[in-house]
């Protein structure tokens, strides 16, 4: 479907704004295929294409500017262009453009603002509807969500084998992954440092029903082939700082694309932050999204929680009362499972803790947010249509 050069993303952001440049006579068949572009998306894109816009995927977004991967309309080769995203939003909300979003890009229409120096800017005219998204509670504004990555097939959760794994944290990441609409996958990293990886793997597997748990070492390469085979077209990598995400990214990408820990920026509060958030093409096809370490992960909705704690949700179906709180009600199947030891108390505590957190976030969240989340993409598409046919 797409050839090898489809993965050579040019880092050059040079862009011709010559609007007289005619589109290529022969459309190149999905050179963005390695980035997840599908016939379905192409279909959806038809009206935008007719309006002279080109599809692109956001590789990085920062204050009204984005790096966008496109297939050059002339050569068909992939390259990265700078674009103005302000037409589709720039405040920190879940409706904001983010890494992984598919956009309709206007290469010909010179934006009012110029880039750094004399760099020409393209303009993001519309966002395509998202298939999935990782959303976290914003650090400052408790009621607003922040989208970290969109259109993800796999959420790869990196957990270091060096040191005791924090099972509560794993559960939280797994719930977040389910919540995003993607398939979670756990990679236990730094296997070369430990001897009891298999025991840990079993422990983690128990707290992550329906999720494959793999043991890998970026250092020795052990387990990487199996991991590659388990990744979807777009994989978002999450995990605690120091879990080995950058090292794993480099190992999977086969290149030094991420800077490992020591050279990271330190923000005002003294925390290490990754300043680049990128869409990294993988040699075998597909892309990896490496987002900054997820701190203060919040959950939206709650379906993710029920999937992450599937065995509890299943038990709850057996409770005598539909609205059983699983605390002191008679005929509670969850309490019964706790009593006979089939459900570990630790697991139940985690569930209740995340549930409380979820409720807290929900109570702090604008009540319209959930429904707007579903509605916003329709508006976006409508907005794009208006843009096309004023």
Binding residues for ligand GDP (CB under 6 A): 189-190, 192-193, 217-219, 239, 241-247, 260-261
Residues that bind Zn ion (CB under 5 A): 319, 324, 326, 332, 334
Helices and strands (H and E) in the chain: how many: 10, 15
Q: Which is nearer to ligand GDP, 109 or 228 (CB)?
A: 228
Q: Which is nearer to ligand GDP, 241 or 355 (CB)?
A: 241
- Give min distance, CB of 156 to ligand GDP, in A: 11
Binder of residue 247, out of ligand GDP, Zn ion, none (CB less than 5 to 8 A by kind): ligand GDP
Q: How far apart are the first and last CA of the chain?
A: 36
Q: Which is nearer to ligand GDP, 243 or 337 (CB)?
A: 243
Binder of residue 260, out of ligand GDP, Zn ion, none (CB less than 5 to 8 A by kind): ligand GDP
Residue 101 has a CB neighbour count (10 Å cut-off) of: 26
Q: What's the CA gap between 86 and 96, in Å, rounded?
A: 10
State residue 259 phi and psi, 5-degree precision: -85, 130
- Give min distance, CB of 162 to ligand GDP, in A: 7
Q: Which is nearer to ligand GDP, 192 or 203 (CB)?
A: 192
Query: For residue 237, is it left (φ>0), alpha (ψ between -120 and 50) or beta?
Result: beta
Binder of residue 193, out of ligand GDP, Zn ion, none (CB less than 5 to 8 A by kind): ligand GDP
Tokens 């923000």 correspond to 267
Q: Which is nearer to Zn ion, 3 or 318 (CB)?
A: 318
Binder of residue 332, out of Zn ion, ligand GDP, none (CB less than 5 to 8 A by kind): Zn ion
Q: What's the CA gap between 338 and 346, in Å, rounded?
A: 10
Decide: 59 and 82 in contact? Cβ < 8 Å. no
Decide: 149 and 98 in contact? Cβ < 8 Å. yes
- Give min distance, CB of 161 to ligand GDP, in A: 9
- Give min distance, CB of 389 to Zn ion, in A: 55
- Give min distance, CB of 248 to ligand GDP, in A: 7
Q: Using alpha carbons only, what angle is made at residue 157 by residues 152 and 163, rounded to the nearest 5 degrees?
A: 170
| 217 contacts: CB under 8 Å, gap ≥ 6 | 189, 190, 191, 192, 223
List strand residue ranges (DSSP E) for 170-264, in order.
183-189, 212-215, 234-238
Q: Which is nearer to ligand GDP, 85 or 217 (CB)?
A: 217
Binder of residue 355, out of Zn ion, ligand GDP, none (CB less than 5 to 8 A by kind): none
């Amino acid at each position: 479907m797409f050839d090898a050069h489809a993965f050579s993303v040019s880092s050059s952001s040079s862009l011709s704004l010559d609007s007289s440049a005619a589109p290529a006579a022969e459309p190149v068949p999905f050179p963005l295929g390695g980035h997840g572009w599908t016939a379905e998306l192409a279909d959806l894109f038809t009206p935008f294409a007719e309006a002279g816009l080109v599809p692109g995927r956001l590789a990085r977004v920062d204050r009204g500017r984005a790096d966008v991967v496109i297939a050059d309309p002339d050569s068909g080769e992939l390259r990265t262009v700078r674009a103005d995203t302000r037409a589709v939003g720039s405040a920190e909300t879940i409706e904001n453009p983010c890494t992984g979003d598919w956009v309709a890009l206007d290469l010909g229409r010179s934006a009012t603002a110029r880039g750094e120096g004399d760099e020409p800017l393209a303009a993001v005219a519309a966002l395509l509807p998202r298939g999935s998204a990782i959303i976290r509670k914003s650090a400052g504004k408790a009621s607003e969500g922040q989208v970290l990555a969109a259109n993800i097939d796999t959420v790869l959760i990196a957990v270091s084998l060096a040191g005791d794994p924090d099972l509560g944290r794993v559960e939280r990441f797994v719930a977040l992954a389910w919540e995003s609409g993607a398939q979670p996958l756990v990679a236990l990293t730094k296997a070369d440092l430990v001897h009891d990886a298999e025991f840990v793997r079993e422990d983690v597997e128990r707290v992550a029903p329906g999720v494959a748990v793999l043991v890998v070492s970026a250092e020795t390469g052990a387990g990487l082939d199996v991991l590659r085979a388990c990744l979807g077209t777009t994989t978002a990598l999450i995990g605690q700082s120091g879990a080995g995400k950058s090292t794993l990214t480099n190992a999977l990408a086969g290149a030094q694309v991420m800077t490992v820990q020591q050279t990271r920026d330190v923000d005002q509060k003294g925390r290490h932050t990754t300043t680049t958030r990128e869409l990294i093409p993988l040699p075998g096809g597909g892309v990896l999204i490496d987002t900054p370490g997820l701190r203060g992960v919040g959950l939206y909705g709650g379906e993710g929680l029920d999937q992450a704690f599937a065995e509890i949700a299943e038990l709850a179906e057996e409770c005598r009362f539909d609205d059983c709180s699983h605390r002191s009600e008679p005929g509670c199947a969850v309490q019964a499972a706790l009593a006979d030891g089939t459900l570990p108390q630790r697991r139940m505590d985690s569930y209740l803790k995340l549930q409380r957190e979820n409720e807290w976030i929900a109570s702090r969240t604008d009540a319209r947010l959930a429904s707007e989340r579903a509605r916003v993409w329709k508006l976006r598409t409508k907005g794009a249509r208006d843009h096309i046919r004023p």
